[in-house]
Amino acid sequence: MVAVSAKAKRSRAARGVAPGEATGPEIFTTPGAARYLGVGESTLRLWRENNEGPRYFRAGDRLIRYRRVDLDKYIESRLS
């Protein structure tokens, strides 16, 4: 099981942002998604390779993108 870091939980809580509450972009690049989750970019790449982690989509042949709603769902799934 892959867990969301305590850093990500504290970061969102410290900003007063509840999962699903819109602040900032709706679509994230890998670096943006990593910051949002409080994990490293390499962690997201590893999760993608192992079919773990949050849902993502390809915008074109090489561009990986994450939707905010999918990142929030992933966080919520790790909190329960």
pTM tops 0.75, yes or no: no
CB atoms inside a 10 Å sphere around CB 36: 21
- Let me know if 33 is exposed, middle or buried by CB neighbors in 10 A (0-12, 13-18, 19+): buried
pLDDT tens, the chain, 80 aa long? 455 666 666 555 555 555 555 567 899 999 999 999 999 999 999 999 999 999 999 999 999 999 999 999 999 999 97
**Three-state SS across 24-67?**
CCCEECHHHHHHHHCCCHHHHHHHHHCCCCCCCEEECCCEEEEE
| Residue 73 token pair | 């769902």
Which phi and psi angles does 23 have, rounded to 5°? -150, 125
* Residue 24 confidence (pLDDT): 74
Q: Under a CB-based contact definition with an 8 Å cutoff, are residues 65 and 59 in contact?
A: yes
* Residue 80 confidence (pLDDT): 75
Domains assigned to the chain: 25-79 (3.90.105)
